[in-house]
């Protein structure tokens, strides 16, 4: 397996689209060589713990007209990728720090990508507030994590500093936007690249594996 670190934020629509494009490429190729780990990056690290009214947030960040145009482009791209997104259902822009902590804890279950996908669905399709700890506990329980253990970890602020350091390390190596894909700790793919690009990556990886086998 080839390591693939995906630096993302579960409220980033391009992250949802980017992972969908990667999945499409692996399905087309008929194989998936990646051992995926999801890494934290907060688009809004200064977001209040309780989040913010989405309309207020978008107009403050982009301006009213630009926000409409920006998210229309995202919606069109999502539809092309086969996704159903419902931005109209999202009432609040959440703080994602707890979601990132849960994603980190889920690594040990082997269900990390399933959890991340469920958070994408909850936010972009159902319009749910993924900063809500009860919602996060439900998501954890759905992949087999012990709800009481996770609740205790939240209450004790477990791994808070670890997560902050991991995100700081990503910024220090030049990550300033998501999604960022790091293949085998050396090749970087940024943004929601189309399935065709990932198809080329997969073809190259397949050729390298075949050559290494022949040389062995």
CA distances from 25 to 21, 22, 112, 118, 199 (A): 6, 5, 20, 20, 5
Q: Structure tokens of 118?
A: 């469920």
* Residue recorded with tokens 């060589």: 33
Which parts of 2-82 fold into alpha helices (H)? 13-29, 54-62, 64-80
pLDDT tens digits for 166-188?
Answer: 999 999 999 999 999 999 999 99
Quote the pTM value.
0.95
- Mean pLDDT, residues 43-72: 93
Q: Which residues contact 9 (CB under 8 A, 6 or more apart)?
A: 15, 40, 41, 42, 43, 96, 100, 178
- Is residue 40 scored above 70 in pLDDT? yes
pLDDT tens digits for 78-131?
Answer: 999 999 999 999 999 999 999 999 999 999 999 999 999 999 999 999 999 999
């Amino acid at each position: 397996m080839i390591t693939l670190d995906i630096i993302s934020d579960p409220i980033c629509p391009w992250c949802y689209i980017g992972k969908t494009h990667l999945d499409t490429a692996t399905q087309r190729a008929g194989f998936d060589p990646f051992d995926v780990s999801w890494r934290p990056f907060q688009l809004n690290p200064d977001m209040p713990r309780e989040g913010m009214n989405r309309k207020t947030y978008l107009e403050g960040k982009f301006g009213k007209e630009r926000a409409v145009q920006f998210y229309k482009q995202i919606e069109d791209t999502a539809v092309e990728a086969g996704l159903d997104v419902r931005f109209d259902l999202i009432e609040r822009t959440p703080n994602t720090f707890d979601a990132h902590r849960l994603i980190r804890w889920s690594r040990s279950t082997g269900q990390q990508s399933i959890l991340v996908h469920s958070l994408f669905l909850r936010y972009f399709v159902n319009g749910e507030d993924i900063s809500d700890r009860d919602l996060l506990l439900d998501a954890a329980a759905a992949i087999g994590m012990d709800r009481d253990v996770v609740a205790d970890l939240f209450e004790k602020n477990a791994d808070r500093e670890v997560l902050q350091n991991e995100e700081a390390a990503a910024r220090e190596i030049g990550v300033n936007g998501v999604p960022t894909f790091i293949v085998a700790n050396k090749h970087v793919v940024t943004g929601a690249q189309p399935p065709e690009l990932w198809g080329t990556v997969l073809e190259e990886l397949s050729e390298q594996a075949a050559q290494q086998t022949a040389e062995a």
